Amino acid sequence: MTPLAHVEAAIAADRAQADPAIWITRLSDDAIRARAGALQAEGRQGRPLWGIPFAVKDNIDVAGLPTTAACPGYAYTPSATAPAVQRLLDAGAVLIGKTNLDQFATGLVGTRSPYGVPRNVFDRDRVPGGSSSGSAVAVAAGIVRFALGTDTAGSGRVPAAFGHIVGLKPTVGSVSVRGMVPACRSIDTISVFARSVDEALAVQRLIAGYDPGDPYSRRAPFPYLRRAAAPANARVAMADVASLCDPPTAALFRQAAARLEAEPVDIAPLLEIARLLYDGPWVAERTAVLRDAIAATPDMLYPATRTILESGLGLKTADAFDAFHLLVQARRSVQTLFERYDALLLPTAPFCPTLAELAADPLGPNRRLGTFTNFANLCDLAGFAVPAGFGPDGLPVGVTLLGPAWCEGRLAGLADALHRAATETVGATATALPPSAVPDALAADETALFCIGAHMAGLSLNGQITGVGGRFLRTATTAPLYRLYALGNRPGMLRGVPGAAIDGEVWAVPTTAIGTLLAQVPPPLGFGSVTLADGLCLGFLAEAAGVANAPDITQYGGWRAWLQAREGSAA
């Protein structure tokens, strides 16, 4: 499609949706067409988003357009565009407008705005989710292909669940938040709503990067946005929290957990920290942003927003330190969790409240919506919120896969597979899911490493691979030249006669990390050139003297088969 064709489709979809509450500032049709026409006249010129329509949450700056954060009394017109938005414009994307939100990004319901409430695309009596309500609805209604939101406590995930789309919550500090009105400055991030995991990842690749002008920006430790394949043996933890959800959410969450063969774990420390996000020092962090406005012009605030922000004025420093100590404990529990598991599966939200429920209790349902989202940024996690299917009431349900910071590319294959197992369409449209991306090929700064034992997906030492930025590429088998031996908790492989084919996995590892990995490998194991069925690869090999007295397990064809046989005999 040409840029003009793209924007005509967006304009038509917006007209069909007929929901002015999606937008706070909607560009005119003429301005949108003019931008698309200029791009079309210039040609693609290598721009990856040539002519693709998108939207931006109205707490992120676009030069010349007002930034309101859904508060007319706060509005200003910036002279500079936020770096994240500018990168998208430079990539050829066409801005349709700036979207509605819960005022100052304080809320998960999507109703706390003087600009109206964007309609839930599945049930107009339900909330759309927030705070990035307009951005999510614009994608779910098929108006734009992707949109920027923000995510502090779940604002980039809850609306995705209610709109049957994907929400990517990046690693905090991976995307510059310069030009964004802060909510909790220390844990804010700009998020992405999109039709699929791969389209969201493609957008993040464009907007991510270290920004010396953002004091909370962080340098990535490795190329973390390269797309991995989904390992068949990934180990996924699940929070056993179905009792906290309504029946449709609980049923579809259990279904997603079964697809991943997820194992129950206790996340009590995380749920405790989640509750503190709206009771503890992070409320005061929100209050600090608007301290002057609260004192001088409190009436400009939406009632529920004002109640929350004013509550931060009375918090005590002593209580803050109690919360910080609990956070350290929660982060330690997360570290321990991801030493054993590749991802944590959660419901995105426990239920979807009605507008009537919000009218009766403006704070309670919002607090409940953050049950499974509030802790993610505090604990330095990243991940994808994806659709999990529809309940008997016709409402979509979402689940979230979380991992440690800088895991987005590694988790993409797993999240995409989970999404596609649940649905074939996007949002409330009849549009089919775009095709999955092919995992990124081995890059020039990566080395392919053939793993045969505990370093494979889901096994005890795989964290050594993923911890340095390794990503799964494929399963593989050696040429029939090797013998395999059991060395306690790991195997040893060497060339032998008669030789056999040995199963394993190929991982892409940053070349600079090969030495780090090798230093963690005890004798008699090391790295050497392994002949696979389709060529040579660096891999784990053993010294002959080191396996002289070890059991020969070649007949099993691989370490996984040996483990299964050993467990079967023990049973």
- Degrees, nearest 5: CA angle 397-152-26: 80
- Amino acid, res. 169: K
Which residues are 508's β-sheet partners? 448, 471
Chain position carrying tokens 């995510």: 151
Element of type H or E holding 485: strand 482-486
Q: Is 495 exposed, middle or buried (0-12, 13-18, 19+ CB in 10 A)?
A: middle
**Cβ(334)–Cβ(326) under 8 Å?**
no
Number of neighbouring beta carbons within 10 Å of residue 461: 16
User: Is 169 known to be catalytic?
Assistant: no
Q: Is 195 exposed, middle or buried (0-12, 13-18, 19+ CB in 10 A)?
A: buried
Q: Which two tokens stand for residue 225?
A: 């946005």
Q: Is 100 exposed, middle or buried (0-12, 13-18, 19+ CB in 10 A)?
A: buried
Q: Which two tokens stand for residue 502?
A: 């040995």
DSSP secondary structure letters along 124-157:
TTB---SSSHHHHHHHHTTS-SEEEEEESSSTTT
**Cβ(4)–Cβ(22) under 8 Å?**
no
User: Is 57 known to be catalytic?
Assistant: yes
Q: How far apart are CA 561 and CA 566, in angstroms?
A: 9
Q: Determine which one of 98, 113, 131, 135 is catalytic.
A: 131
Of 370, 403, 378, nearest to 188 (Cα)? 378
Cα-Cα-Cα-Cα dihedral sign, residues 337, 340, 342, 344: negative
Give the contacts of 331 (CB within 8 A, at least 6 positions apart): 379, 380
- Degrees, nearest 5: CA angle 507-511-516: 90
Q: What's the CA dihedral at 500, 506, 509, 514 to 10 degrees?
A: 0
User: Is 131 known to be catalytic?
Assistant: yes
Chain position carrying tokens 């896969």: 401
Q: How far apart are CA 356 and CA 358, in angstroms?
A: 5
Q: Determine which one of 113, 132, 135, 155 is catalytic.
A: 155
Q: For residue 204, give Cα distances in angstroms to 105, 228, 268.
A: 21, 15, 31
For residue 63, how far is the Cα from the chain centroid? 28
Catalytic residue positions? 57, 131, 155
